[in-house]
Amino acid sequence: MKNKLVVLTGAGISAESGLKTFRDSDGLWEGFDINEVATATAWKKNPALVQEFYNMRRQNVKEAKPNEAHKILAELEQDFDVQIVTQNIDDLHERAGSTKVLHLHGEIFKMRSEKNEDLIYPIHDDIQMGDKAEDGAQLRPQIVWFEEPVYMIEPAANLMRTAEIFLIVGTSLVVYPAAGLVNYVPWKIEKFIVDKKIPYSTPLYNLTAIEKGASEGMREVRELIKMKNEK
């Protein structure tokens, strides 16, 4: 039986793949105010702008490649039962080879009916205004916006409870309910956090903080947890 390694990732793990994080640039994301493009209100007010914004994001993700940090997480499946819970909408974990990835905030390569969140389809190019789902409603990106419920939070919390080792990579942990997931992790297990700038102020018991970029930090985590596995 392999030890269960549960990993919570955020935008910082994809930064070295050239995808911008959200909060490293004064609340502006690729020059856009998050409130104007990533909220349910924004979609009601100006759906064409929101659609265009996510069409651009989809292009960016298509051009990006998994970096070493994504690849190390995929390789760790040889020695650990790795379960990733990501806030990212990109598919870089999957392209690196990770097999168990739960997306909390949706996926850029999926779209859905604006009326029915269960009518989901794959999409690799642009979604146009006027493109309809089979229920006749406008298609929108399958992204969980601010002001919308995070449907995957309960399965994610249940995964946290099963962790034997816990790792956080590249998230500012300011967006709820995702940030609250750390509270479901068994308190006594070993925990690691990798971030260019450790954001976490609440002390988590048994936490090793590695203040480095994702790839460099993940190399260090790999050594640390492999040593434990061999003991």
Q: Is 51 in the site for ligand APR (CB under 6 A)?
A: no
Residue nearest to ligand APR (CB): 12
Counting every residue written for the chain, the total comes to 231
Give, as ranges, the residues between 162 and 191 that touch ligand APR (CB under 6 A).
Answer: 170-172, 174-175
CA quadruple 9, 58, 175, 160: dihedral positive or negative? Answer: negative
Q: Output the smallest distance, CB 168 to ligand APR, in A.
A: 9
Residue from 51, 87, 98, 138 binding ligand APR (CB under 6 A): 87
State yes or no: residue 15 binds ligand APR (CB under 6 A).
Answer: yes
Omega cis (within 30) before 66: no
Distance CA(10)–CA(82), nearest Å, equals: 16
Catalytic residue flag (residue 105)? yes
Q: Least distance in Å: CB of 230 to ligand APR?
A: 27
- Examine residue 66 and tell whether it contacts ligand APR (CB under 6 A): no
Residue closer to ligand APR by CB (options 27, 128) is: 27
Helix H or strand E encompassing 191: strand 190-194
User: DSSP letters along 80-123, please?
Assistant: EEEEEEE---S-HHHHHT-S-EEESSEEEEEEEESS-TT-EEE-
Tokens of 54: 């996510």
How many Å apart are CA 95 and CA 13, to the nearest integer? 14
In the list 197, 203, 227, 230, the residue contacting ligand APR (rule: CB under 6 A) is: 197
Known catalytic residues are 105
Binding site for ligand APR (CB under 6 A): 10-12, 15-16, 21-24, 34, 38, 87, 105, 170-172, 174-175, 195-197, 199, 213-214
